[in-house]
Amino acid sequence: MKEQIKQIIADHLCISIDDIDDDSDLFEELGADSLDGVDLLMTFEDTFDISVPDEEAVELRTVRKMVNYIQENK
């Protein structure tokens, strides 16, 4: 799952998967903007068949946090 999340981020942001580590911040380190964040969240919801409330989505800024969220809510 972690590698799949990294690949989705890399593809969406047009960056190398090697530039993404478990604690890379999507916005501060990887260059995502708010629209990227929404698009990525929607992709994660579709891919992993989850629903993320808006108040929780703002906390999902790293691969590690997304993996943990999916594992806890799947």
What are the residue boundaries of the structural domains of the chain, listed by start?
Answer: 2-73
| Residue 33 is among the residues annotated as catalytic for this protein | yes
The predicted pLDDT at position 10 comes to 97
Distance CA 3, CA 21 (A): 10
Catalytic residue among 21, 33, 36, 46: 33
pLDDT of residue 34: 92
* pLDDT tens, residue by residue, 6-52: 999 999 999 999 999 999 999 999 999 999 999 999 999 999 999 99
CATH topology of domain 2-73: 1.10.1200
CA distances (Å), 67 to each of 48, 50, in order? 10, 12
pLDDT at 30: 95
